[in-house]
């Protein structure tokens, strides 16, 4: 494909932003992206593309409307991907106001810039399964969410993203902007931040095996998530903007697993079989063969309100975008563990 389309991307230094930038550059786009000034390097995930002739990096922060207005008025993009966020659910309880500024008002700032300077562009908003909150499961014993399911966010992050969701929909309805929400269920990878549960498990258990750490210390072992691979999900984001009509889509695998299952699968790749003993905060995981302690629970990782269980129904994305997740949990775990065995 040889196109001169221009994309404006926030959050390029994050997991999804790095994969999306690769995808857009491969498709021939000129990519303008914002990155934050930091006192340490925050470009680890994009080192390999930073010198690309069609990638233009700008200092930016979506809490600064003057910065976003100026950049969008200069770049005049065809497509905008807003991936920037304070994306950590547990941290959002500690910095709720900041989370709202970035995840809620930040989205509004970009929409306003688009309305003023490139109203014919297409806008992708990184929305989330955290909007649902898992309460259906608590009430009814099930919890497969689709695009028509009711929302009940359970964290300042979820509530801020709910504003983002509705302001996107409102600008679509009020001003006819092409703006859509990708309601993405959890997606992980070798590039996942190391404080999210999957990557925490793979890095910490590899470190235990290498003798660099004593034990994996974890929170709620029974939370259930619908985990896919991030590289496949950024393709779905792009496909949403290639439609004729702006709509909201779920991307998910349609399967859910417990945190403890993720631990067991990681252990298996490292040659251990976990035996669980005890319950609640006293529960511990041992290597069945040697009796070595591998996992313990620390309530400091529990959240003030938890999302117990999430499963997404990706049928609409399959039908209208031709998108489906192909990488299952087994392959996801294997890829993450193999990467961490080389790098931790």
Neighbours of 241 (CB within 10 A): 21
Looking at the DSSP assignment, which residues form a beta bridge with residue 33? 9, 57
Instruction: Please choose, out of 73-81, 185-193, 205-213, 299-307, the segment that lies near ligand NAP by the rule CB under 6 A.
Output: 185-193
Q: Cβ contacts of residue 8 below 8 Å, gap of 6+?
A: 32, 33, 71, 72, 75, 77, 79, 80, 81
Q: Is 85 in the site for ligand NAP (CB under 6 A)?
A: yes
CA-based nearest residue to 268, from 201, 212, 213, 200: 201
Q: Is 93 in the site for ligand F7E (CB under 6 A)?
A: no
Count of residues that bind ligand NAP according to CB under 6 A: 26
Catalytic annotation on 128? yes
d(CA 134, CA 138): 7
Q: Is 130 in the site for ligand F7E (CB under 6 A)?
A: yes
Q: Residue 105 has what DSSP assignment? A: I
Catalytic annotation on 157? yes
**Comparison of 83 and 246: residue with beta carbon closer to ligand NAP:** 83
**Rg over CA atoms, the chain:** 20
d(CA 82, CA 286): 42
Which of ligand NAP, ligand F7E, none sits in contact with 77, Cβ below 5 to 8 A by type?
none
Cβ at position 207, least distance to ligand NAP in Å: 21
Which of ligand NAP, ligand F7E, none sits in contact with 90, Cβ below 5 to 8 A by type?
ligand F7E
d(CA 294, CA 66): 50
Q: Residue 71 has what DSSP assignment? A: H
Cβ at position 290, least distance to ligand NAP in Å: 34
**Comparison of 14 and 143: residue with beta carbon closer to ligand NAP:** 14
Cβ at position 230, least distance to ligand NAP in Å: 6
Which of ligand F7E, ligand NAP, none sits in contact with 13, Cβ below 5 to 8 A by type?
ligand NAP
Sheet strands (E) in 119-173: 122-128, 144-145
Which of ligand F7E, ligand NAP, none sits in contact with 89, Cβ below 5 to 8 A by type?
ligand F7E
2-31 in b/e form (b: 16+ CB < 10 A) is: eeebbbbbbbbbbbbbbbbbbbbbeeebbb
Q: Is 293 in the site for ligand F7E (CB under 6 A)?
A: no
Measured in degrees and rounded to the nearest 5, phi and psi for residue 239 equal: -60, -35
Cβ at position 95, least distance to ligand F7E in Å: 14
Output the six-digit token pair for 52: 């690309």
d(CA 304, CA 318): 35
**Comparison of 130 and 264: residue with beta carbon closer to ligand NAP:** 130
Q: Contact letters (x/-) for ligand NAP, 137-176, by CB under 6 A?
A: ----------------------------------------
CA-based nearest residue to 129, from 251, 258, 304: 251
d(CA 321, CA 232): 13
Q: Contact letters (x/-) for ligand F7E, 215-244, by CB under 6 A?
A: ---xxx--x-x-------------------
d(CA 216, CA 160): 31
Q: What is the dihedral of CA 122, 69, 131, 191, to 10 degrees?
A: 80
Which of ligand NAP, ligand F7E, none sits in contact with 232, Cβ below 5 to 8 A by type?
none
Q: Is 87 in the site for ligand F7E (CB under 6 A)?
A: yes
Residues that bind ligand F7E (CB under 6 A): 87, 89-90, 128-130, 185-186, 195-197, 200, 218-220, 223, 225, 259, 301, 303, 306-307
Residues serving a catalytic function are 128, 130, 157
Residues that bind ligand NAP (CB under 6 A): 10-11, 13-17, 34, 36, 38, 42, 61-63, 83-87, 102, 126, 128, 184, 186-187, 193
């Amino acid at each position: 494909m040889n196109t001169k389309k221009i994309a404006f991307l926030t959050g390029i230094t994050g997991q999804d932003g790095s994969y999306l930038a690769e995808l857009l550059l491969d498709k021939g786009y000129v990519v303008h992206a914002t990155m934050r000034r930091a006192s340490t390097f925050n470009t680890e995930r994009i080192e390999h593309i930073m010198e690309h002739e069609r990638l233009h990096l700008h200092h930016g922060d979506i809490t600064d409307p003057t910065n976003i207005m100026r950049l969008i008025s200069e770049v005049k993009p065809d497509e905008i991907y807003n991936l920037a966020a304070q994306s950590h659910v547990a941290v959002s309880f500690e910095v709720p106001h900041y989370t709202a500024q970035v995840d809620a008002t930040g989205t509004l700032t970009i929409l306003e810039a688009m309305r003023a300077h490139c109203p014919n562009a297409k806008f992708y908003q990184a929305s989330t399964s955290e909007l649902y909150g898992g309460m259906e499961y608590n009430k009814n014993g099930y919890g497969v969410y689709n695009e028509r399911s009711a929302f009940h966010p359970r964290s300042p992050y979820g509530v801020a993203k709910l504003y983002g969701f509705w302001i996107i929909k409102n600008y679509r309805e009020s001003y006819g902007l092409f703006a859509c929400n990708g309601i993405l269920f959890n997606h992980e990878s070798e590039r996942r931040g190391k404080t999210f549960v999957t990557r925490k498990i793979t890095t910490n258990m590899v470190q235990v095996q290498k003798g660099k750490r004593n034990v994996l210390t974890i929170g709620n072992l029974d939370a259930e998530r619908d985990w896919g691979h991030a590289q496949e999900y950024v393709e779905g984001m792009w496909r949403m903007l290639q439609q004729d009509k702006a709509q909201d889509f779920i991307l998910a695998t349609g399967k859910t697993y417990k945190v403890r299952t993720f631990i067991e699968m990681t252990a298996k790749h490292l040659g251990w079989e976990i035996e669980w003993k005890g319950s609640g905060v006293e529960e511990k995981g041992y290597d069945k063969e040697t009796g070595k302690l591998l996992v313990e629970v620390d309530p400091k990782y529990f959240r003030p309100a938890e999302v117990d269980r999430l499963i997404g129904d990706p049928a609409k994305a399959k039908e209208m975008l031709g998108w489906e997740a192909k990488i299952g949990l087994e392959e996801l775990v294997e890829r993450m563990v193999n990467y961490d065995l080389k790098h931790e």
